[in-house]
Structure 1
């Protein structure tokens, strides 16, 4: 008996006795469930169960609580309308909705300060109506969800409304050296007054060439009782600062100014100490033993990453300073997140309005203004959002920024030209085509890094003949000019052309020490027969005045628009009395195909934030190099961005190429954005 039962169980079968037992147990459970339903209190009477003749089992009617897609109410579900608020000026905010809702619009019309922008189709209101409008929408009959402006940001703007803006630019400047005051232009005087109104803690982000140095010295001299003064600068412009002090602040004795030369140097009773960023990072322990009441950080965009040693050193010194001034013509080289580290030096707790100061966490700033998104790998702050609000917020809290077109109408305008190098002189190698195709495939990030760097370097060799040919024509016309390049091999080639033609020139690259640098600058500025300045883009884009020329030629491109703009303004600045012509030499089927679109993308982001770069590549004159019968390549600016494509394949497979080009372009754009910090860490001046 037991053996047979065990065999049935083993075969997945049950005995008749077990089947009957389970059936009776199931009936018992069903009766218990029915009894529970009948005894449950309800607002509506429970229907009596029906008797099933076929099974002799009492089955209750199914309750009508399941989702029925055919019910009428499901055809009229109310969709959720979302909205977000953001500041568009110092006193008005916009409320942007995801879709049109007539009832919501009627609510907008009840606000007295309402205004409708026909162009953007967005409603905006006065900041004082923000809270009341949010309250109305919270109790609205429509299903609307609105993201309000953070209360801390609102309080910053409301406090600004109560302040007297006119008095900001009316400060008593009698404490400042008369020689400096007499040298000021009206907008420079406004910059000094702004800095004084912010108690010497601000960012002067004027366009290049508008005299940020003299404004910083004016603010520093106003707060002279807080000295000693520390000036942290790129190594190449140390002596320009000391000369500016001697020129504009003659009341400061020369022996008060000390150049900190090495990590073994010492700090005495000097009133003014000038040091480079890299040296400060190495000697930070020495400087921490002294308290500098006033700190000036020139070209502060080099502190864009809070992970670098130079930023951490500057932060440790600025912590004890009463006044901190940041100077930069490009406050955010590529992304708004780069502003946070700079702002944190002057306003350590930026973004939360307190009675004493401002405060903000890195994450708060990134979420609000960098479209921050959190993933399994952490926060991603490479985007941008609420740019108009950020622009207004910076303006009322800590930053003053003027462009040449706004304040210096007498300064000659720039004329930009794109010169397409003769393709017959561009010697693209087989390996370059292979690397271009490789970048369009699914490869690892490390492989992309190496491939892109090698592709960029190989492009410099490919363009050598075209560049030398173009430079030869310039030298034949005896035009005084600046010739920028990035790789050493191109700098060397330009110098050889000049030597072969007996053209007198100067050269400044990463190997030029500060003393030689100053001598060469003076030579170029003072000697009419010195026709060419051969310059490294990364080593001579700042702290140099070369207004003796009015032609700037970029023989190579660089993917950072801020660097290019700074390099342009070595000529286009105060002291220039002629029109300035900027020429960009570009070569098809090289790395230029990728760098131009990248520059445009970054400029759009910066301009949206109000951090306009005086660099536009949309309205430039495009000319082809006229040698060897080459046709005009006006279409270069609209190329498909796939350098490996040949003209014949474009004719045969135009549709396939167009679809593939779009994907590869987007992928490479993202690669260049992600890898910018990797490129910044490279020693560009040592690249062959």
Structure 2
């Protein structure tokens, strides 16, 4: 003790005494939480106190070693409700920094944090963050830490990706594009050149996820032409836009001879020495045995969000082709239509050694295991996922970011005249009551039936609004989902001698092109009557600047795509989007559902610029205005109740059918079996089952 007095000053001795006292108080608090007495008799009963544990480092989580004592069916930590183990979660918050969030405030752990040179504390979130270079050092310190801390680490694949990004000198702006056809380079806008350079910097393994109407086709052709030494090139696309691709090649890549381009026509077609093959997703599935005999060095997957499920025949066929490709380019304006899990299949095509489906679901989809298996319908660590996508493979620009010269877009909600809505029928009232009483699968079935019946209830009001619209002689797009609504709008046009075009699920690709050209070039064609599911992508209708949705649809991504048939490059006027909504119909449920989905997608960085916060609301009767909040509150449930009920009931429902591929091509298939496809907008289903025929 005399020796210690000579070495330490009185101030240091006092600090050590206080530290020892603090440690003793902390341990006493732990024992108190465990309900373990602190007297001497307790120390004589070793079974009451769990043995000291040591840490064992595993791949992602530091866990305690299990003791080798005799089998005990009740683990000590469960029996005693052990609270002394502090948990922590690591996640990336920028390209070079990570955050470590702890479950409790422990002075000793905070003291360890302060030993890291790059430490920083966020006062708002109350979370510590550090530079990525200090990650390994901090984890090693926490492994040996006392008191105990169990840390969920950053997955190794994700960690190594960000570490490589720190050390890489990726000067994208200096890439030379002189190898690309002069005609294409001349028409590229600056942000499109950036997209081409980004794809080249990723060696042609990328996802161009720009907003609809920003010229993803040109960027893809630029990247593919840069790597033309790797051709033949395979372009896989929805049937509705296959002609669009050949036209773009003829126009912007004149150095490519016309006979190099081949449209794969049917499952019995053959391939000779074609440099470019254009094929639809459905035909690829049927002709996979032919296509997989050839090695395509470069593959372009248009509207890649149709590959959102790894269990579909589409994805499996595409995966076989991409397995041997040197360059894979994905194009989509809506990478994820509803949930982060829909991104996995697309990322796995681009990145050869990506994490497993299960690990991805646990990390980014709040994966939970229940009686039906894993539930990956949620979302988690979205900030990290967004950073990872931007670092590895995805480039995404919104119109507001890159096209200041593009006209603005304004949304309006038009409240249909309630006197013209036939919502008081016995059938509608019965379904409305069922929605409030039923739960789970039965409620979803009732909602689908309510959606169908609402199309009839709103017919008179919709026709009344369209009639007034035609009287003003404004060129417009009229979107609807059900066949009876499309028919009704066409009947109004014919009765008023209004020239129009119509595109629905029955319109073949060649006919679509003729109709689009007619609408674009002829001023006497005032209306385009369009199916929401069949005409939301692949066509440009900038001759109009008014879009009217006679019906809502479940998925905000589809609605945004439909809007951007007019709000795209080539539009010189301000665009007005109008949504016709009706009280006491399925709209009461669909509108809040749309907004909840958008909140999730925006958190991942897949902004769709779709918000109800800045929407003007007008009544069809010109007697005043309603606030949009009053419309949302029409629903018999509050938004919080809807969210809670939705989460509770839909999980069990989706597990029953999430992994089943829809094979029924009948337009009158069972509503209970088809509800999930309608809810999630599975485009593979829509291509085989024409929902426009539903009446």
Scaled to the shorter chain, the TM-score interval is: 0.7 to 0.9
Q: Which one of 610, 613, 621 corresponds to residue 618 of structure 1?
A: 613
Equivalent runs, 1:114-129 vs 2, <5 Å: 114-129=119-134
Q: 1:456, 1:213 → 2: CA distance?
A: 35
Q: Verify the 8 A CA contact 1:423 1:630 in the aligned structure 2.
A: no
CA spacing shift, 1:568–1:438, aligned 2, 3 Å = same
Does the residue aligned with 1:542 lie in a helix, a strand or coil?
coil
Q: Which one of 374, 384, 401 corresponds to residue 369 of structure 2?
A: 374
Does the residue aligned with 2:221 lie in a helix, a strand or coil?
helix
Q: Which one of 125, 141, 150 corresponds to residue 145 of structure 1?
A: 150
- Counterpart of 1:455 in structure 2 is 450
What is the CA deviation profile of residues 18-71 of structure 1, one whole-angstrom value per residue up to 9, with x for unaligned ones?
xxxxxxxxxxxxxxxxxxxxxxxxxxxx99xxxxxxxxxxxxxx9766869xxx
Q: Which one of 515, 518, 522 corresponds to residue 523 of structure 1?
A: 518
Deviation at 1:307, TM superposition (A): 1.4
What is the CA deviation profile of residues 378-433 of structure 1, one whole-angstrom value per residue up to 9, with x for unaligned ones?
11111111111111111111111111122222112211111111111110122122
Equivalent runs, 1:199-598 vs 2, <5 Å: 199-350=203-354, 360-428=355-423, 429-442=425-438, 445=441, 447-598=442-593
Does the residue aligned with 2:105 lie in a helix, a strand or coil?
coil
Deviation at 1:436, TM superposition (A): 2.4
What is the CA deviation profile of residues 517-545 of structure 1, one whole-angstrom value per residue up to 9, with x for unaligned ones?
11111111111121111100000000010
- Counterpart of 1:99 in structure 2 is 104
- Counterpart of 1:34 in structure 2 is none
CA spacing shift, 1:334–1:580, aligned 2, 3 Å = same
Q: Is 1:197 paired with 2:201?
A: yes
- Counterpart of 2:633 in structure 1 is 639
Q: 2:404, 2:128 → 1: CA distance?
A: 35
Does the residue aligned with 1:230 lie in a helix, a strand or coil?
strand
CA spacing shift, 1:78–1:661, aligned 2, 3 Å = closer
- Counterpart of 1:30 in structure 2 is none
Does the residue aligned with 2:191 lie in a helix, a strand or coil?
helix
Does the residue aligned with 1:558 lie in a helix, a strand or coil?
coil
When normalised by structure 1's length, the TM-score is 0.82
Q: Verify the 8 A CA contact 2:200 2:223 in the aligned structure 1.
A: yes
Q: Is 1:687 paired with 2:687?
A: no
Deviation at 1:443, TM superposition (A): 5.2
Q: Which one of 126, 148, 167 corresponds to residue 162 of structure 1?
A: 167
Deviation at 1:659, TM superposition (A): 11
Does the residue aligned with 2:554 lie in a helix, a strand or coil?
coil
CA spacing shift, 1:100–1:291, aligned 2, 3 Å = same
Computing the radius of gyration from Cα coordinates, the structure with the larger value is 1
Q: Verify the 8 A CA contact 2:440 2:653 in the aligned structure 1.
A: no
CA spacing shift, 1:420–1:106, aligned 2, 3 Å = farther
Residue correspondences, number: 598
- Counterpart of 2:25 in structure 1 is none
CA spacing shift, 1:611–1:662, aligned 2, 3 Å = closer
- Counterpart of 1:647 in structure 2 is none
Q: Verify the 8 A CA contact 1:484 1:537 in the aligned structure 2.
A: yes
Deviation at 1:151, TM superposition (A): 2.8
Q: 2:612, 2:642 → 1: CA distance?
A: 22
Deviation at 1:268, TM superposition (A): 1.7
Q: 1:140, 1:485 → 2: CA distance?
A: 62
Q: Which runs of 5+ in 1 are unaligned?
A: 1-45, 48-61, 69-74, 351-359, 644-656
When normalised by structure 2's length, the TM-score is 0.81
CA spacing shift, 1:279–1:85, aligned 2, 3 Å = same
What is the CA deviation profile of residues 1-26 of structure 1, one whole-angstrom value per residue up to 9, with x for unaligned ones?
xxxxxxxxxxxxxxxxxxxxxxxxxx
Q: 1:665, 1:227 → 2: CA distance?
A: 48
Q: CA RMSD in A?
A: 2.6
Q: 2:376, 2:650 → 1: CA distance?
A: 17
Q: Verify the 8 A CA contact 1:439 1:668 in the aligned structure 2.
A: no
